[in-house]
Amino acid sequence: MKFAVLVFPGSNCDLDMYHAIKDELGEEAEYVWHDTKDLSGYDGILLPGGFSYGDYLRCGAIAQFSNVMNEVKKAADAGKPVLGICNGFQILTEAGLLPGALIRNKNLKFMCRTIELTVENNNTLFTSDYAKGQVINIPVAHGEGNYTCDAETLASLKANNQIVFTYTNDNPNGSVEDIAGIINERGNVLGMMPHPERAVHELIGGTDGLALFKSIVKQWRESHVSHA
Amino acid sequence: MKKVKIYVTLRESVLDPQGSAVMGALHTMGYDEVADVRIGKYLELQVDDSERELDVIVREMCEKLLTNTVIEDYRYDVEEAVSK
């Protein structure tokens, strides 16, 4: 399976993402610059964390108009897996690929530590290798991860099981309903504030993030074998 | 040429953590009268006259890029720009 790791000016988790795919997962990964106008050669699209365009105006606001984002929309429409982590999540909400928005952490601090997440929905292509209700340890590192949306959106997120990850006991940012990650209605676009790509090796503090990437690859293999 | 002054604020329904922190400081300083603080942004655009209607393009720019209507409201004023 071949992944595109998008690189915006100011991305800084692109290397971690590339490493996770290439070295820990053993799949193909390529860095793709933000002005690229073709993503058709990739099976999965990864939007890494960082501070694209310096977080000017709002986090993700300027990146949403990069050339590559039209291609990300096409990939999402085609049903390819699209994963946005941290700043990538912010870009996906700004681009309208995921509902709601991410605002300043309630306590105004940049939160950087490993935290417990609960897998609320393991019936997605990103989480099938986890158990429902499983608690995993994944690092967070953000100043604007406070997920917010209107009551109507929240009700539909719940009704459609679109809340995939929540903070187990310790919500670092004040997000509504302790939301840490959500998926689109179709189930192929996931955004999350925590960094699974930083939890893929015992040497860097755990491997609980690996199952997320394995889930994507497993689903892709299964669908491509059955269609062959 | 016109000068467009755009004021962006967080929607009433969205909690403003910065505003709450500043209000706390004002109360500590003894300004107990302050009942609420909301922090926003102010943008100034110099816009050349064109065939496109100014109100239309300002609203477009606000809704596409300058604000996120999920969490923010905006209003704007238009003035004649004074050439320097």
Encode pLDDT of A65-82 as tens digits.
999 999 999 999 999 999
Q: Given an 8 Å threshold on Cβ–Cβ distance, is A108 in contact with B10?
A: no
Q: How confident is the model at residue A184 (pLDDT cuts 50, 70, 90)?
A: very high
Catalytic residue numbers of A, as ranges: 86, 195, 197
Question: CA A161 to CA A163: how far, in whole Å?
Answer: 6
Stretch A157-178: mean pLDDT, rounded?
97
Encode pLDDT of A84-97 as tens digits.
999 999 999 999 99
Q: How confident is the model at residue A224 (pLDDT cuts 50, 70, 90)?
A: confident
Q: What is the pLDDT of residue A194?
A: 98
From A175's Cα to the closest Cα of chain B, the distance in A is 11
Pairing of strands A28-33, A2-7: parallel
What does pLDDT average to over chain A?
96
- Report which of A56, A54, A30, A25 is spatially closest to residue A42, judged by C-alpha positions: A30
Q: What is the pLDDT of residue B15?
A: 87
Q: Given an 8 Å threshold on Cβ–Cβ distance, is B71 in contact with A107?
A: no
Q: What is the pLDDT of residue B81?
A: 86
Stretch B12-41: mean pLDDT, rounded?
94
- For the record, the structure tokens of A227 come out as 């269609």
Which residue among A65, A108, A174 sits closest to B65, beta carbon to beta carbon? A65
The ipTM estimated for the assembled molecules is 0.85
Tell me which residue has tokens 């409201």.
Answer: B73
Q: How confident is the model at residue A138 (pLDDT cuts 50, 70, 90)?
A: very high
How many A×B Cβ pairs under 8 Å? 38
Q: How confident is the model at residue A13 (pLDDT cuts 50, 70, 90)?
A: very high
Stretch A90-118: mean pLDDT, rounded?
96
Q: How confident is the model at residue A117 (pLDDT cuts 50, 70, 90)?
A: very high
Give Cβ neighbours of residue A207 (< 8 Å, ≥ 6 apart): A199, A200, A201
Stretch B63-68: mean pLDDT, rounded?
96
Find residue A179's DSSP bridge partners.
A166
- On chain B, the residues whose CB falls within 8 A of the CB of A174 are 15, 17
At residue B57, what are phi and psi to the nearest 5 degrees?
A: -75, -35
DSSP A172: S
- A101: Cα separation from own chain's centroid: 14
Q: What is the pLDDT of residue A169?
A: 95
- Quick check: A130 pLDDT over 90? yes
- Quick check: A227 pLDDT over 60? no
Q: DSSP 3-state assignment of A24?
A: helix
